[in-house]
């Protein structure tokens, strides 16, 4: 699995003119299931994501994870959005190839599993709609943007 993670002060996702997910401070997670991904990869990625220390402490150092924000009264949310284009291979030319992405049914299964696991382990989880045409709005805080891969 791959995830492009952005620390945000706010983010929301719109489908067909309707907001389907919204968070304030937290992480926007663009998630891509790759061929062969299983529950093991989903769990590893979620563990890493929840403990990723990219929020500032009182001294301005990145020492806090999204789960620490609750203790600071900031309710750190997760907004999880499916993003198969993270699997793009552009080494063969100008048109990206997505052959390494999971097939749509497998991708949906992995995405749904990841969102479900996140919802059981974190207090504020919102999500986009798998395979929908989405507009993602965000205020990147920092900016801080990281690629995670397991």
pLDDT tens string 121-148: 999 999 999 999 999 999 999 999 999 9
Residue 4 burial (CB count, 10 A) = 18
pLDDT tens string 70-94: 766 667 999 999 999 999 999 999 9
What percent of the chain lies above the pLDDT cut of 90? 93
pTM of the complete model: 0.95
Q: Which residues are identified as catalytic?
A: 83-85
More confident residue, 73 or 68: 68
Q: pLDDT tier at 47 (50, 70, 90 boundaries)?
A: very high
Q: How high does pLDDT run on average in the chain?
A: 95
Domain 2-142 belongs in CATH node 3.50.80.10: yes
List the domain boundaries for the chain. 2-142
Q: Among residues 39, 55, 61, 64, which one has the least CA distance to residue 117?
A: 39
Q: pLDDT tier at 104 (50, 70, 90 boundaries)?
A: very high
The rounded Cα 114 to chain-centroid distance in angstroms is 10
Q: Among residues 96, 95, 69, 67, which one has the least CA distance to residue 83?
A: 96
């Amino acid at each position: 699995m791959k995830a492009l993670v952005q620390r945000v002060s706010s983010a929301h996702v719109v489908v067909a003119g309707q907001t389907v997910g919204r968070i304030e401070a937290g992480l926007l997670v663009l998630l891509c299931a790759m061929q062969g991904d299983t529950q093991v990869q989903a769990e590893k990625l979620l563990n890493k994501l929840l403990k990723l220390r990219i929020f500032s402490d009182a001294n301005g150092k990145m020492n806090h994870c999204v789960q620490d924000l609750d203790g600071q009264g900031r309710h750190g949310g997760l907004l999880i959005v499916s993003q198969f284009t993270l699997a793009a291979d552009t080494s063969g030319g100008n048109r990206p190839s997505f052959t390494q992405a999971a097939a749509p049914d497998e991708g949906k299964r992995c995405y749904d599993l990841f969102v479900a696991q996140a919802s059981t382990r974190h207090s504020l989880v919102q999500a986009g709609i798998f395979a929908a045409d989405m507009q993602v709005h965000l205020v990147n805080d920092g900016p801080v943007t990281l690629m995670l891969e397991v």
